[in-house]
Structure 1
């Protein structure tokens, strides 16, 4: 089925839930070790992933069956590491600045689609990518005052998330979405457990409640995202994914007392405009390819 209106509503709900998850992650990672926070979040996420993948595939064995295990495991490890880096960025820079820089990930996907997937990237999209990175420079303001190396943390997370997205598309050539989802949760859970179990710290009862809420928002957000792509084409709902930046910014200002610089607003506007242009060009290319075939 293709119901764009319902898909857009679900995507808006998805971005809101993920923004709340980021806010809770920022709070907990400010009080406890980042690796422990991500580890506990992943335990719940892995259980959710196994349940969904098993339901779609019929059994755990069927969900885990793949001809490209190295690729699938690497995808899971990459996403888990990206989450650790991004949560660290929340603590170092706050939600506003971190999400402002992370918004460039669609541009990175477009730039890396050539070397990773062998897709042709035309001059218009390369121009949009260049313009988008001008927006990143406006946000980061290198050369103005003292440049914060911490600003590169969310950029590194964006780069890893872009590569994860491309590898997911590559894996989809041979594996089902259920199989990829299974390895996303299980491989990531094993990875963060191995590196995070040594960072265990006792938590207060209120923070255990926040941790429970973090786990539930993570599962709810992914469930909403699955439903979004079930009812609508990705190209029709993807532009609304940028609303996570809006929700996270509002949360950072209202709850954590963060500020919104004029340069950040200008830079984000440039990045989002460039990102929407690349999405539009990709959509046109897909439509043209479908017509040609």
Structure 2
């Protein structure tokens, strides 16, 4: 069994905060490119670089690629990689149809989905307090989607679908970290995602301008780095300790949406996002309390 990395909560928090900032910048670039080119092609090129970067790093490790790619959870690794590639495409579609701020105001609910699914997937107990918080959070999502108006638009449900997919990706990433090193997960993510997206991306290939190739290069570099930092964050720290800092992405994306894309922050978004973030933070706090109680019980 591959040993778990030494736990370092401070490093995990720093990695998650930086990851949130980089993801926000990525989303802005992705929106720009997806407004001018096919989403599948944009994502394909991004994951080509991701895979190449992962293969290069793995080749430099002791034993090379053959050693790094060995996994105790190959089916789970394949599943999480497939889920990620679908989530990225769905979320970028949301950016184009709804805008960065509106999409992320809904997407920020993914920690609540993680809490709701942690029982069936990771075998964790979710008490009534966390279920109440999950319910409050999803009331916030409905406020953002404006029941009776936007909620009946299929585009309004796109970021919610992305949140569900990303929650599954996060849970599976945490699960495989119990047996696989961060580099193993990184390699599987890049290679599997690139293989899956290539046939579709090539079918929708379009020529790009020189300026947009530069943006694509920045997107590729930042994408590979951000996903590696997130995998490493989950490896060195407990999810309940670092997950609140992933919510910084909504702050970063709001600044980007207002200053670069001239998006408007509506009152229903502010109220709904506040409920969602408050519920998410409480859910993460309760998860931490429960974990601490379990450790004390084992030591008693």
Task: State whether TM-score is above 0.5.
Answer: yes
Q: Match of 1:281?
A: 286
Q: Please report how far the alpha carbon of residue 223 of structure 1 lies from its aligned counterpart in structure 2 after TM superposition.
A: 4.5
1:92 to 76, 93, 97: 97
CA deviations 1:217-247 (Å, max 9, x no partner) are 2133235445656776544332121111111
The reply on whether 1:203 has 2:208 as its aligned counterpart is yes
Q: Compute the TM-score of the two structures, normalised by the length of structure 1.
A: 0.91
Q: Match of 1:239?
A: 244
Q: Given that residues 50 and 224 in structure 2 are in contact (C-alpha distance below 8 angstroms), is that contact kept between their aligned partners in structure 1?
A: yes
Runs of 5+ in structure 1 lacking a partner? Answer: none
Whole-Å Cα distance in 2 between the matches of residues 67 and 18 of structure 1?
29
Q: Given that residues 35 and 84 in structure 1 are in contact (C-alpha distance below 8 angstroms), is that contact kept between their aligned partners in structure 2?
A: yes
Q: Please report how far the alpha carbon of residue 56 of structure 1 lies from its aligned counterpart in structure 2 after TM superposition.
A: 5.5
Whole-Å Cα distance in 1 between the matches of residues 169 and 16 of structure 2?
20
CA deviations 1:258-277 (Å, max 9, x no partner) are 11110000000000011011
Comparing 16-25 with 211-220, greater Cα deviation is found at 211-220
2:117 to 99, 112, 130: 112
Q: Given that residues 143 and 268 in structure 2 are in contact (C-alpha distance below 8 angstroms), is that contact kept between their aligned partners in structure 1?
A: yes
Whole-Å Cα distance in 2 between the matches of residues 35 and 131 of structure 1?
35
Whole-Å Cα distance in 2 between the matches of residues 226 and 55 of structure 1?
19
Q: Given that residues 19 and 244 in structure 1 are in contact (C-alpha distance below 8 angstroms), is that contact kept between their aligned partners in structure 2?
A: yes
Q: Match of 1:149?
A: 154
Q: Please report how far the alpha carbon of residue 211 of structure 1 lies from its aligned counterpart in structure 2 after TM superposition.
A: 0.5
Q: Given that residues 45 and 215 in structure 1 are in contact (C-alpha distance below 8 angstroms), is that contact kept between their aligned partners in structure 2?
A: yes
Whole-Å Cα distance in 1 between the matches of residues 134 and 239 of structure 2?
20
CA deviations 1:183-205 (Å, max 9, x no partner) are 11111110111221111100001
Whole-Å Cα distance in 2 between the matches of residues 103 and 24 of structure 1?
19
1:181 to 186, 190, 196: 186
Runs of 5+ in structure 2 lacking a partner? Answer: 1-5
3-state secondary structure, aligned to 1:126 = helix
Count residues with an aligned counterpart: 293
Q: Match of 1:251?
A: 256
1:136 to 135, 141, 152: 141
Two-structure CA RMSD over aligned residues (Å): 2.2
Q: Please report how far the alpha carbon of residue 281 of structure 1 lies from its aligned counterpart in structure 2 after TM superposition.
A: 1.1
The reply on whether 1:13 has 2:11 as its aligned counterpart is no
Alpha carbons of structure 1 residues 85 and 265: separation in structure 2 relative to 1, 3 Å = same
Q: Given that residues 240 and 288 in structure 2 are in contact (C-alpha distance below 8 angstroms), is that contact kept between their aligned partners in structure 1?
A: yes
Alpha carbons of structure 1 residues 160 and 232: separation in structure 2 relative to 1, 3 Å = closer
Q: Compute the TM-score of the two structures, normalised by the length of structure 2.
A: 0.89
